[in-house]
Amino acid sequence: MLKKELLDILACPQCKGPVTLTEKEDGLVCETCKLIYEIKDDIPIMLIDEAKPL
């Protein structure tokens, strides 16, 4: 699980906007870009090319 401090500083690499944790805590959502960045082994994969559309 990601720590609150890390979530507070993470931003969407595309728009630099805020990201929120999914309900299952398996990804980070950018509502502006409508993208989900997966979390694998407690590491967020913050690559635009790896993001999935909502």
Ordered by start, the domain boundaries in the chain are 4-53
pTM of the model: 0.88
What pLDDT is attached to residue 1? 67
- From first to last of its 54 residues, the chain has per-residue pLDDT tens of 678 888 889 999 999 999 999 999 999 999 999 999 999 998 999 999 999 999
What is d(CA 8, CA 4) in angstroms, rounded to the nearest whole number?
6
CB atoms inside a 10 Å sphere around CB 28: 24
Which residue's entry shows tokens 């699980």?
Answer: 1
CB 44 within 8 A of CB 2: yes
How far apart (Å, rounded) are the C-alpha atoms in residues 34 and 41? 23
What phi and psi values does residue 14 have, to the nearest 5 degrees?
-85, -50
Query: What is the structure's pLDDT at 36?
Result: 98
- The CATH number of 4-53 is 2.20.25.10
What pLDDT score was predicted for residue 32? 97
